[in-house]
Amino acid sequence: MSETYGEEHIGNVTADAFWNVDEEFRDLQLKLLSIHVVSEEFGADCFEVSILRAPDAVMKMRMAKTVMEEYGHHLRFRGLFEELDVDWVAYTEGKPHLSTFDTPIESWADQMVFLALIDRAAAHQFRQFVKSPYEPFRKVCQDTLNEEYGHVGLGMDGVKQLLKAEEGRAEVEAIVEKWLKVGLASFGSDESRTNERFRQWGFKTSTNKDMKLAWYQQVHAFITRDWGIDVPEDMYALAETNPADGAAVSH
Ligand SMILES: [Fe+2]
Ligand SMILES: [Fe+2]
């Protein structure tokens, strides 16, 4: 196959066709794989300590399963490099992990709010990727998305449990805005040039701003109504969410 696929007729891309596709597409795809190879393992390492912080055996088991699945995500994305015969160790060397893991998870409450809000933000990203052109990536993202829903479910159950006791409620109230800011930053800057290229090539269909808005409306609704915690209605009212402030490396 000698034809080079351009952005106008990219269609479905198989592993066999990958090296014939336009270089920019390949670079963006490998960049996405690299971010996930690095961040899924780094994230699992960050989560591991939460297993023993869980309040009972049921939650310990669910947290352990989450950690196991995060390592599995790393292996899955790594497999896509291997399928293309790309040396993933060399390719990912020195590459940063997602900025979401720069904020330390220091308590069980942190971990539960993280899963309820930040894994949900990740699920919003994966929902875009499952419609993207590269077939092996779509499949891996769909399998990962299915497990992310489980992680979000654990977070929601864990927060609900915490909110039942006065001490737990105080803990959740104290940290919710911190994680809202992390979640907003994870979508990247409103004016991201990378996001524009991702949309051009079909990796994403929405702008960072629209994704951020959709996520914020969703989480704002259950935080205020179901958790009974007051948070700003306008996402830009949260200090570190200035439109020009996107801290995420990937989006
Ligand atoms: Fe993951
Ligand atoms: Fe997850």
Residue 173 has pLDDT above 50, yes or no: yes
What distance in angstroms lies between residue 151's CA and the mean position of ligand 2's atoms? Answer: 5
Kindly indicate the confidence band of residue 122, based on its pLDDT and cuts at 50, 70 and 90: very high
- From ligand 1's centre to the CA of 73, what distance in Å? 6
d(CA 122, CA 113): 14
Range 223-246 average pLDDT: 80
pLDDT, tens digit (0-9, with 9 covering 90-100), for 40-66:
999 999 999 999 999 999 999 999 999
Could you tell me the distance, in angstroms and rounded to a whole number, from the CA of residue 74 to the centre of ligand 2? Answer: 11
* Domains of the chain: residue spans and CATH: 22-245 (1.20.1260.10)
Beta carbons of 86 and 152 less than 8 angstroms apart: no
How far does the centroid of ligand 2 lie from the alpha carbon of residue 102, in Å? Answer: 16
Mark residue 219 as left, alpha or beta (left: phi above 0; alpha: psi -120 to 50; beta: remaining): alpha
Phi-psi region of 238 (alpha: psi -120 to 50; beta: other; left: phi over 0): beta
Å from CA of 70 to ligand 1 middle: 5
**pLDDT score for 144:** 98
Q: Are 68 and 121 within 8 A, CB to CB?
A: no
- Ligand 1 centroid to Cα of residue 56, in Å, is 23
pTM, 2 dp:
0.92
Q: What are phi and psi of 84, to 5 degrees?
A: -95, 5
Contact 10, 201 (CB under 8 A): yes
CA distances 176 to 162, 190, 223, Å, are 13, 22, 9
- C-alpha 94 to ligand 1 mean position (Å): 20
pLDDT band at 10 (very low <50, low <70, confident <90, very high): confident
